Structure 1
Amino acid sequence: MYKLFLVVGFFFIFHALDAVPLDSSQIAEIIRFRIETDPPGEKLKIRNTTLLTTDDVINFYTDRYFEEVWSVEGILSELAYALRFEIKQSQFDGLNPRDYNLEAIDGFFSKFETNMAMGKSNDPGDLADLDMLLSDAFFHLASHLEIGKVDPSLIDEEWEIQRKEQLVYYPDLLDEAIASGQIRQTLETLYPKFPVYKRGREVLRALVEEEKEDSLNWKKVKVSKALKVGDTNNDIPILRERLQYWGLLDQYEVKEPKLYDSVMMAGIKDFQGYHGMVIDGVIGKVTAAALNDSPQAKIDKARVNLERLRWLPDTVENAEFILVNIANFQLDYFKNLDTLLTERVIVGRKYHETPIFMEEMSYIVFSPYWNIPYSITRGEIIPSARKNPNYINSKNMEVVTPAGQVVDPNSIDWHSKSFPYLVRQKPGPGNSLGLVKFMFPNKHNVYIHDTNARSLFANDDRSRSHGCIRIQNPADFAKMLLRDEPEWTMERINEAMSQTHEQVVKLKKPIPVVLVYLTFWADSKGEAHFRDDIYERDQAVLMALNEKSS
């Protein structure tokens, strides 16, 4: 496609060689006039189209003495065609080409191409106006590619990772693109440094192309009872078609269309694997809900998450860090972008959502107390103690004063409105934190810990906690964190996790912990992975992406 648009561009360029060349100074004078005559303090307007990067436009043209960029002797240059192509290609970054004055730009291109076909010279005023529109589009697109279109602080109060700061001066970047003659490669330098971004972009491109061929019925299919091989259901033919659409099931002879057969089950298992589900071949509510996602729904999800990647700072690139993708219920330990450890996790349920932030892990607590948050004490512990006088002892808990002095629970009036105490659960196998916790101090009092409810790790939906992150194999995680300290053998770790008192171990160096929320990404093989929007955060980002830039 890139070569095609160049061929078309060159056709018009060479077809118009008979047109009378324009004096470049005419165009520069008009550009200067446009800039100097607009009301001060207001955004520049070009024929009722408001420029979105007025300061950059003024600085750029002033520094080059108002010389035009996108035409040569009155004819659109190859660079002009290249930029228009990249504006249209921005849809594969999840952005809207219309945000970059595309309609006005296309109008000028059409007019100039008609002039060229007729051997007619282009109007200097038209060339000047298009020049400014194209430069404005470059600067605006560059900003969106570098730091994102949407300010996360305005739409998601739970997103507390500081948005990436602008590091590039876009007029200088355009100078580089002009000097090198490379629009595409120059804009690519603004992409997030994470390899997952470019891979995700390619997935989005493929989804957009596939969506053009989509003719399936994407009505919502509801499964009231889990379907297993051998079951029949009226919606089986629809689900079979969807698996075939996504390339997870080949066409085959179906004797009983409503029968869930073993051939179809193989496709269901592949589908479950790509969506992070338990691979059991059973079509339950979660699997059926994911099968309801149309190509457009997946396009929207990909767009939202490419934008989230643009928000993230690149400070963890080629570093050692721990990444928890809340929507994927997974923890990954990275070093130089190699995955050292992957673990299933349980995260906060709806209304007890795990927040999105970055902090540094600095110590481990083996055989920890669980210092129960006051909200849980007030909402769960006190009501239980009122019903059962022995509740505190039965749960291996103790009541303490703010100074840490233990108080006999039988001496407390549990019906009183005042409760000037703290409740904590003592170390042991019944402790809700399990046998170890991993601390990265933060204002949310969120951390990673073991759990005594191990059966929950087998669930597809692992949003079950009060906000903290429960890890499936905490001893393996501890061994990874302490791998540079040979005295911490697995035997010693297990002993430390089975004590009746706390043991705090400081890490030799703090390790960044990044809690993110990504409902789509592409893996190292370029394969797409989609996850349920468990906290219903995608829609707000999508709406903001779809709004016209102002």
Structure 2
Amino acid sequence: MSRTIFISFSLVFFTFSSLVFAQSDEEVAELIRFRMESDVPMENIEIRNTSLLTADDIIHFYNDREFKNAWSVGGILTEEAYELRFEIKQAEFDGLVPEDYHLNVIESFFSTFESNKENGIKNAPGDLADLDIFLSDAFFKLARNLEIGKVDPSQFGEDWEIARKEPTNDYPTLLEKAVATKAIRKSLESLYPKFSIYKKGREVIRELSEKVKEDTLNWKKVKISKSIHVGDSNSDIPRLRERLIYWELLEEYAVQDEKVYDSIMMDGIKDFQGTHGLDIDGVIGPQTAQAFNDSPKDRLNKARVNMERLRWLPDTVKNAEFILVNLANFQLDYLKNLDTLISERVIVGRKYHESPIFMAEMSYIVFSPYWNIPYSITHSEIIPSVRKNPNYIAAKNMEVVTSSGKVLDPSTINWNSKSFPYMVRQKPGPGNSLGLVKFMFPNKHNVYIHDTNARSLFALDDRARSHGCIRIQNPQDFAKELLSYDPYWTSEKIDEAMHQTHEKVVQLDRHIPVVLVYLTFWADSKGEAHFREDIYERDEEVLVALGK
């Protein structure tokens, strides 16, 4: 009898509890619907004087689920609500600003609910409804920022001409699935750029954030005018040694003379040079010294900027075959099926002749090329040189041609005239400024990859030396790899084609995406951070935009 009474009581209690929970959830849903309907036409939806970030997604999401609350059950927050709050805070390690996603408002609600729990007070349906909307709104905004970036790169004009990718996810659908499967974190991670260096970059930012909190060093700028070799004495050596120890590239040791650059310190210098794209020679030159001036906060900001740039990159970069040129790293990588087939030093545009950021498709190679000299260079350099030296055109193996291609005798041209309706080009040969081959990916900038006759420049750390085109160190190896599909193009045939007196144009059997990017930070597959000088001074404007 007692067992029957207990079961009956349990059923009644369960039914009553379910009814209470159902009524609680219905009330919250009704308030959510009211929030969606009660706003002034043509104005943003506001909740507690705070504008929502993603009105369209919010309306679609709640309308499709008949305004049912997503983040609480029976007046109690779900684990997924706590998980999303955590992920909003973790956005710091994506280089984003957690406060951009209603964090302060959300934290206030959570504090109230925690207090209610301690004091045995039910959470108010209006609070539950408002927090529900803020959490969903935060999810949608964070999802979009993770997938395509917070900042629209088009606002930087020619500093970044790669078209912004379009979102491939429907965020309300994504959230509906994430809530149903209890996979908030997994859903947000699915939006990360599909490069392993992105997740590795998050870990670097996490470490740098801790460094910033603990940093007590004096980051006074170090500037040297003369290279320091092992055995040399310099008053800046103690500061450089201190920074090596700080970055864990050198262990503390007994120093005989703190101003002397010793062999123990040199090992740390070489490691430092390796992660900054400098020649690993152990010599402390001006660029090595300059790289030491970045504080943890400087590095953190640089990492934030470049995580955003990674979010801008389109899916094309994930293709099985593409050519990637990182201008800030002075390096070209030719990748196929995730393998790096060629990695070459390059020379890029100097300041005021900056190489642009864009994408195009390589379609042909020109062996023994003419150099069709740009109009700007003709007027600023060639014409003034001919005025000083009438034999300049012949001496530089150049020729003057009409628009129809007729070659003219330079002595018949009035070089002092304000009008110059001709084109100057340099003939194929070892003295040609383009070298012996050029790789063409037609684009509005007339930028391409080519050989050079100024090979000594590849030994420099600072290789921003061209008028904008990309000069490659070993073009013959690059050509052989690109033409590997055709057995005709042996090393001998390529060498022969590169030493002719006339151009030889070879069409590739496919178009290969060429991506010119600008990354001053990335983390490699081992999680090691790499930093590069901001040669074009472009980081600051992205950092400012991220902070807005």
Amino acid at match of 1:523: D
Stretches of structure 1 that go unaligned for 5 or more consecutive residues are: 1-16
TM-score (norm 2): 0.95
CA contact 2:158–2:357 (8 Å) conserved in 1: no
- Shift in Å at residue 203 of structure 1? 1.3
Query: 1:148-163 residue pairs with structure 2 within 5 A?
Result: 148-163=149-164
For residue 465 of structure 1, what is the amino acid of its counterpart?
S
Q: Deviations over 1:33-72 (max 9, x none)?
A: 1111111221111111111101111111111111111111
156 and 519 in structure 1: CA distance in 2 versus 1, 3 angstrom threshold: farther
For residues 224 and 481 of structure 1, what CA distance do their matches in structure 2 show? 43
Q: Aligned residue for 1:410? A: 411
Q: What is the letter of the counterpart of residue 382 of structure 1?
A: I
Q: Which residue in the other structure is 1:377 paired with?
A: 378
Counterpart of 1:63 in structure 2: which amino acid?
D
Q: Deviations over 1:68-123 (max 9, x none)?
A: 11111111111110000000000000000000010011011001100101111111
Deviation of residue 205 (structure 1)?
1.4
Question: Equivalents in 1 of 2:547, 2:266: separation in Å?
Answer: 38
After superposition, residues 103-502 of structure 1 pair within 5 angstroms as 103-502=104-503
Cα distance in structure 2, aligned partners of 1:156 and 1:292: 30
Partner AA of 2:146 in structure 1: L
Letter in 1 for 2:501: T
Cα contact 1:159–1:356 (8 A) shared by 2:
yes
Query: How many Å separate the matches in 1 of 2:48 and 2:317?
Result: 45
Give the whole-Å Cα distance in 1 for the aligned partners of 2:140 and 2:85. Answer: 13
Q: Residues 413-435 of structure 1: CA distance to partner in whole angstroms, max 9, x if unpaired? A: 11110111100001100000000
Between the aligned partners of 2:42 and 2:247, the Cα distance in structure 1 is: 52
Report the Cα offset of residue 524 of structure 1: 1.6
Q: Distance in 2 between matches of 1:539 and 1:219?
A: 20
Using the TM superposition, name which of 95-104 and 32-41 deviates more.
32-41
The answer to whether the Cα contact below 8 Å between 2:316 and 2:513 also exists between their aligned partners in 1 is no
Q: Per-residue deviation at 1:289?
A: 0.9
Q: Distance in 2 between matches of 1:188 and 1:481?
A: 35
SS of 1:98's equivalent in the other structure is helix
Of stretches 93-102 and 23-32 in structure 1, the one that deviates more from structure 2 is 23-32
Partner Cα distance (2:158, 2:151) in 1: 13
Provide the secondary structure at the position in 2 that maps to 1:316: helix
SS at match of 1:514: strand
Alpha carbons 1:317, 1:336 under 8 Å: kept: no
Residue 125 of structure 2 is aligned to residue 92 of structure 1: no
Cα distance in 1 for partners of 2:353, 2:156 equals 19
Aligned mates of 2:316, 2:405 — CA distance in 1: 40
**Distance in 2, Cα, partners of 1:544 & 1:160:** 17
Q: Distance in 2 between matches of 1:522 and 1:235?
A: 29
Query: CA offset at residue 234 of structure 1?
Result: 1.7
Question: Deviations along 1:190-240, whole A, 9 cap, x unmatched?
Answer: 111122211111211121122222211111111122211112222211111
Question: What's 2:507 paired with?
Answer: 506
Match of 2:5 in 1: none
SS in 2 for 1:467: coil
Contact 1:95 1:303 in 2 (8 A): yes
Partner residue, 1:13: none
| Structure 1: distance between partners of 2:157 and 2:302 | 16
Amino acid at match of 1:141: L
In structure 2, what is the Cα distance between the partners aligned to 1:346 and 1:157?
19
Aligned partner of residue 23 in structure 1, secondary structure? helix
Within 2, Cα distance between the matches of 1:145 and 1:208? 19
Task: For residues 216-266 of structure 1, give each alpha carbon's deviation from its aligned partner in whole angstroms, at most 9, with x where no partner exists.
Answer: 111111112221111222221111111111111111111211111111111
State the distance in 2 between where 1:281 and 1:428 align.
Answer: 38
- Once residues 486 and 68 of structure 1 are traced to their aligned partners in structure 2, the CA distance between those partners, rounded to angstroms, is 65
- Indicate the SS of the match to 2:506: strand
Aligned counterparts of 1:545 and 1:49: Cα–Cα separation in 2: 20
Deviation at 1:157, TM superposition (A): 2.6
The CA deviation at 1:315 is 2.2
TM-superposed deviation, 1:318: 4.1
The amino acid across from 1:360 in the alignment is E
Letter in 1 for 2:127: D
Q: What amino acid is aligned across from residue 97 of structure 1 in structure 2?
A: P
Pairwise CA distance, 1:509: 1.0
**Distance in 2, Cα, partners of 1:66 & 1:493:** 68
Mapped partners of 2:488, 2:150: distance in 1: 49
Structure-2 separation of matches of 1:40 and 1:30: 19
User: Is 1:74 equivalent to 2:75 in the alignment?
Assistant: yes
CA distance in 2, matches of 1:252, 1:50: 57
- With structure 1 as the length reference, what TM-score do the two structures score? 0.95
Distance 2:34 2:185 in 1: 31
Q: Distance in 2 between matches of 1:172 and 1:238?
A: 54
Distance 1:338 1:328 in 2: 19
**Counterpart residue identity of residue 433, structure 1:** L
Contact 2:158/2:356, CA 8 A, preserved across alignment: no
Inter-partner Cα distance in structure 2 for 1:480 and 1:499: 21
Give, as a single letter, the amino acid of the residue that structure 2 aligns with 1:350.
Answer: K
Q: How far apart in 1 are the matches of 2:250 and 2:449?
A: 39
* Cα distance per residue 1:145-193 (max 9 Å; x no partner): 0110000011243311111101111100100111110111010111111
Cα 1:73–1:154 shift into 2, 3 Å: same
Contact kept? 1:156, 1:537, Cα under 8 Å: no
Residues 259-312 of structure 1: CA deviation (Å, up to 9, x unaligned): 111111111111111111111111111111110001111111111111011111
Describe the superposition over 1:421-454 as per-residue Cα deviations: whole angstroms up to 9, x where unpaired. Answer: 1000011000000000011111111000000000
Distance 1:97 1:156 in 2: 27
Partner Cα separation in structure 2 for residue 524 and residue 156 of structure 1: 32
Identify the residue that residue 40 of structure 1 maps to in structure 2.
Answer: 41
Identify the residue that residue 517 of structure 2 maps to in structure 1: 516
Q: State the one-letter code of the partner of 1:158.
A: D
Q: Secondary structure at the match of 1:310?
A: helix
Give yes or no for contact 2:356–2:468 (8 Å, CA) kept in 1.
Answer: yes
Distance 1:342 1:239 in 2: 31
SS of residue matched to 1:350: coil
Give the alignment of 1:15-30 within 5 angstroms: 23-30=24-31
Q: Deviations over 1:479-535 (max 9, x none)?
A: 001111111110111111111111111111111111111111111211111101100
Which amino acid is the alignment partner of residue 192 of structure 1? P
Instruction: Indicate the SS of the match to 2:317.
Output: coil
Structure 2: gaps of 5 or more residues: 1-16
Three-state SS of the structure 1 residue aligned to 2:214 is coil
